């Protein structure tokens, strides 16, 4: 590792968790031989909430109030974030496009992806708004570099143009005529779905009745065969 990845430094270790365990302190103690202050990252491989499924910890010495008890190591949560360069983000996005679950329909996948993207966009916009509110309230100093990136992102003008196109396509739901038109269209679609369900149920019932009638005819034919053979003998 030192010869191949000389520029990389070991900062700790990770576990799939999903929570801290009793023997984590024993494993963490071994890493003190290689790192002065190692970090433990718990990765939730089956996240149930939107966001980064990782939590980071480091150990500290906890001193007991009673002098007769020995001090012990305990884990303390440390704030963390996952970041990447622009090139790495593009590569990850292209890889995620090829990850598909065959048990889920394409439409559900697309809707889930768009919903996740919109939630991420909403979280970033809320973060920007929170920062600007703190600057207005003079709780944070004014940073011209941050404001420049907010006004003119250097990573991609095309992304901003696409985002502007999305906002331009959003309908104004405060117009009564538009609300009525949406309601009428939704009712028409629901009526078609309802009629389709009724027709499907009627066809299924019709096929069931035909199947019952055919089974009875076959049973009558089977019952009539022995009598015919006995009469002939």
pLDDT in tens, the chain (233 residues): 677 777 778 889 999 878 888 888 889 989 988 888 899 999 888 877 766 788 899 988 877 666 666 777 888 888 887 777 777 777 777 666 655 555 555 667 777 778 887 887 788 888 888 888 998 998 888 888 777 777 654 445 555 556 666 666 666 777 788 888 888 888 998 898 899 989 999 999 999 999 999 888 888 888 877 655 555 55
pTM: 0.41
Cα→Cα distances 133→123, 144, 147, Å: 15, 15, 13
The domain spans of the chain are 12-78, 86-169, 173-225
The answer to whether 14 and 40 have CB atoms below 8 angstroms apart is yes
CB-based contact 43:17 (threshold 8 Å): yes
Q: What is the pLDDT of residue 165?
A: 67
What is the reported pLDDT for 154? 45
**Is-contact 36 54, C-beta < 8 A?**
no
DSSP 8-class letter at 6: T
What integer pLDDT is reported at residue 103 of this predicted model?
57
- In this prediction, residue 163 carries a pLDDT of 62
Contact present, 33 and 10 (Cβ < 8 Å):
no
CB-CB neighbours of 38 under 10 Å? 20
Which superfamily does CATH assign the domain made up of 12-78 to?
A: Cytidine Deaminase, domain 2 (3.40.140.10)
Pair 129, 136: CB distance under 8 Å: no
pLDDT tens across 101-141, in order? 555 556 677 777 788 878 877 888 888 888 889 989 988 88
């Amino acid at each position: 590792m030192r010869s191949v990845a000389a520029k990389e430094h070991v900062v700790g270790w990770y576990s799939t968790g999903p929570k801290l365990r009793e023997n984590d302190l024993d494993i963490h103690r071994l890493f003190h031989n290689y790192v002065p202050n190692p970090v433990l990252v718990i990765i939730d491989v089956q996240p149930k909430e939107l966001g980064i499924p990782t939590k980071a910890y480091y150990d500290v010495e906890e001193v007991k109030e009673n002098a007769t008890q020995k001090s012990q190591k305990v884990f303390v949560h440390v704030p963390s974030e996952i970041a990447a360069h622009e090139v790495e983000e593009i590569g990850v996005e292209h890889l995620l496009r090829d990850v598909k679950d065959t048990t889920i329909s394409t439409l559900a996948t697309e809707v889930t992806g768009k919903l996740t993207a919109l939630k991420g966009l909403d979280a970033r916009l809320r973060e920007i708004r929170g920062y600007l509110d703190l600057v207005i309230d003079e709780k944070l100093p004014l940073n011209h570099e941050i404001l420049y990136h907010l006004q003119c992102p250097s990573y991609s003008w095309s992304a901003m143009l696409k985002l502007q196109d999305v906002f331009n396509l959003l309908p104004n739901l405060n117009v009564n005529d538009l609300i009525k038109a949406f309601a009428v269209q939704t009712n028409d679609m629901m009526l078609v779905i309802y009629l389709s369900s009724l027709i499907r149920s009627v066809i299924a019932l019709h096929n069931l009745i035909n199947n019952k009638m055919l089974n009875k005819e076959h049973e009558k034919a089977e019952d009539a065969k022995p009598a015919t053979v006995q009469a002939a003998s």
